[in-house]
Structure 1
Amino acid sequence: MSQKICIISFDHWNYDKHIVDKLNEKGIDSFHIKIGGFKHKNIGTRIINTFSKIVLGKNPKIKKRQEHIIKMLEEKGFQDQILVINPEVISLEYHQKIKKFTPKYIAYLYDSVERCPIEHLLHGVFNEIYSFDKGDVKEYGFKETTNYNYLEKQPITDGLSIKNQVLYIASFDNRLEKVMLLKQAFEKIKVSYKFIIVGKKTSLYKLKNVFSSKILGIEFKRNRIKQNDLKKLYAQTQTILDLVRDNQSGLSFRVFEAMAFQKKLITNNKNIKTYNFYNPNNILVLENENYDFDKCFFETNYEPLSDKIYYQYSLDNWVNTIFEL
């Protein structure tokens, strides 16, 4: 009989569903409880929830999401393994309830503990905790892993298909200040770029800064970009820009998307130099915020990784490792 494995996560960007797809591909009975997919039953419950948040300072939806997890597990039954990604969104009370459905309860953190505290979940909750942050691995004794490459390796794009030399897509946050400085740096050396900032607050920000030259050339979108559209954008660029959030040392999915599309990468994550795929011809590390670029980086071709190194960061290897398949 095949194993039964459940994945529980918020999955803002639809990365985690690929884990379930890979497990099912391997003949494992797997399903995904997407916390972020929980919706109010009707407009009435939505109004009540909004009133409670504003007037009472409580969000009933948080509890309902957690009750939804338990309901799904009751329907699906006992699981051989359950993986929770970024478990801080679930209370200790509900983690203890979830644990009753499996002998092996695993957590994976693809945010730092400083950004998403889980100190209340460190003892007696999980059988294993994996983290992509080397600092947290050292401090808390977590098992080290990275994010995974959920894409198949793509052929190297010929120059005629390239529309932009640099592509940056990210959520609306304080990294925007760096983006505006980088925009000026690329314009100075005549490197073409496409910057897309995504988030609910982008419309108001753009309205407030409509006459500012700093945001000229930057696209602001309210809705997230679908992964199929993202792939098209990657195929049309030479270099992917990766700006990590404050207090993050783990590798973002941008790194692995660049790897899959065999694109060059510019990143401010200095820890990338410690990984075996690091190649200064392919990866330019921003050591400071002067952003004084040497255009030579854009004038050399991407140097492909060996199949052995590429597989090490693949989703197939990731699920084999995390679930000990």
Structure 2
Amino acid sequence: MKICVISFDFWNYDEHIVTELRRKGIDANHINIGAYQHKNFPARVQNTISKIVLKRNLKNEYRQEMILDQLKKLGKQDQILVINPELIERKYHEVIKEYTRKYIAYLYDSLARCPAEHLFDLFDEIFSFDKNDAERYHFQQITNYNYLPEAELNKNPMFDMVYVASYDKRIQILFKLTKKLDTLGLSYYAKIVGKKAWKEHLNVDSRRTVFFTRRRLAHKDVPEFYGNGKVLLDLIRDNQSGLSFRIFEAMALKKKIITDNQTVKEYDFYNPNNILVLNDDMSNVEKSFFETAYQELDPEVYRKYTVEAWVENVFGLKS
């Protein structure tokens, strides 16, 4: 069987799907349009001028042409999965679809944030991580996946809570929470990443740090970063109800997690001992949550959310 995954894999999560497929003996390939770079400096300048003068992003066009070039080399596929298909123009989707007998989409974003309604008719199956979208549009609802190996409990983390995220409006909630943690005498380390992060000042003492940087955390360093916290923090973006990868990383690392995603209560792995769902006023943040031990999941429940189970579900594979 031949399967191809097409995505803008900025955080390197999608590569785990391809790795798992290969582990199952499938001829799997990944076309990562996020990996495309201008060939040289003049090409970068040309693209800048084109965007300003012609309102035309040449880099986006070249990325999509790259998909077709690679598919020509790979040949016909049994299945092609496109993650967040709105990143590709319809005319390219129509050509891509000719290379496969089954065309699948996975929406790892709500349609409110990333509209893709104009592409629905192209796909044989559409999966979505957003429960609200899945119910409204009759998609197949599926969560993100646990891609990490199961870890041992870490009994000596450096901080009570750790957090890493892009620079956006969620920082307001972060500061509201850290203020609460300050009153409880709890420690934390947050890393905020983005081009605008330099506008903020650096808050530091030995136990309470919010660090702003333009350099993102390497994907391979995520487990070590989270290993430094007793509890992980997960804050959702606007117009989103799907579960982020933080939930599943916490599951693999056997870490408690604090989240403002109310939908987490609807899942079979939800345990209030392990998962604290924030009130708007942070009134339910108590020191006792940080002091009690993590309670491990039933193995069958744990497996349901692994990348192995995910690829079996999406591609219709037998375990």
Is 1:172 aligned with 2:164?
A: no
Q: Within 5 Å, which residues of 2 pair with 1:1-325?
A: 3-123=1-121, 125-158=122-155, 161-203=156-198, 205-206=199-200, 209=201, 217-291=209-283, 293-325=285-317
Tell me which amino acid in the other structure corresponds to 1:298.
Answer: F
Contact 1:185 1:292 in 2 (8 A): no
When residues 33 and 289 of structure 1 are mapped into structure 2, their CA distance, relative to the original with a 3 A threshold, is farther
When residues 211 and 21 of structure 1 are mapped into structure 2, their CA distance, relative to the original with a 3 A threshold, is closer
When residues 229 and 211 of structure 1 are mapped into structure 2, their CA distance, relative to the original with a 3 A threshold, is closer
Q: How far apart in 2 are the matches of 1:122 and 1:136?
A: 13
TM, length-normalised to structure 1: 0.94
Tell me which amino acid in the other structure corresponds to 2:78.
Answer: D
Query: Which aligned segments of 4 or more residues in structure 1 are displaced greater than 4 angstroms?
Result: 209-213
When residues 168 and 38 of structure 1 are mapped into structure 2, their CA distance, relative to the original with a 3 A threshold, is same
Q: How far apart in 2 are the matches of 1:152 and 1:210?
A: 34
Structure 1: gaps of 5 or more residues: none
Structure 2: gaps of 5 or more residues: none
**How many pairs are equivalent?**
315
Tell me which amino acid in the other structure corresponds to 1:74.
Answer: K
Q: How far apart in 2 are the matches of 1:164 and 1:294?
A: 16
Q: How far apart in 2 are the matches of 1:220 and 1:39?
A: 26
Q: How far apart in 2 are the matches of 1:24 and 1:76?
A: 15
Tell me which amino acid in the other structure corresponds to 2:118.
Answer: H
Contact 2:256 2:275 in 1 (8 A): yes
1:211 deviates by 9.5
When residues 163 and 68 of structure 1 are mapped into structure 2, their CA distance, relative to the original with a 3 A threshold, is same
Contact 2:18 2:30 in 1 (8 A): yes
1:212 deviates by 12
Q: How far apart in 2 are the matches of 1:315 and 1:163?
A: 29
Q: After superposition, give the CA deviation of every residue in 1:183-240 in whole Å (9 maximum; x if it has no partner).
A: 111111011101101112212x22xx57999xx8311121221123211111221100
RMSD in angstroms over aligned alpha carbons? 1.6
Q: How far apart in 1 are the matches of 2:54 and 2:114?
A: 24
Q: How far apart in 2 are the matches of 1:162 and 1:102?
A: 48
1:292 deviates by 5.1
Segment of structure 1 superposing worse, 220-229 or 109-118: 220-229
Q: How far apart in 1 are the matches of 2:173 and 2:283?
A: 9
Secondary structure at the counterpart of residue 17 of structure 2: helix
Tell me which amino acid in the other structure corresponds to 2:127.
Answer: Y
TM, length-normalised to structure 2: 0.96
User: Aligned residues: percent identity?
Assistant: 49
Contact 2:38 2:44 in 1 (8 A): yes
Q: How far apart in 1 are the matches of 2:19 and 2:268?
A: 27
1:251 deviates by 0.4
Secondary structure at the counterpart of residue 126 of structure 2: strand
Secondary structure at the counterpart of residue 100 of structure 2: coil
Q: How far apart in 2 are the matches of 1:112 and 1:68?
A: 26
Q: How far apart in 1 are the matches of 2:150 and 2:98?
A: 39
Tell me which amino acid in the other structure corresponds to 2:274.
Answer: N
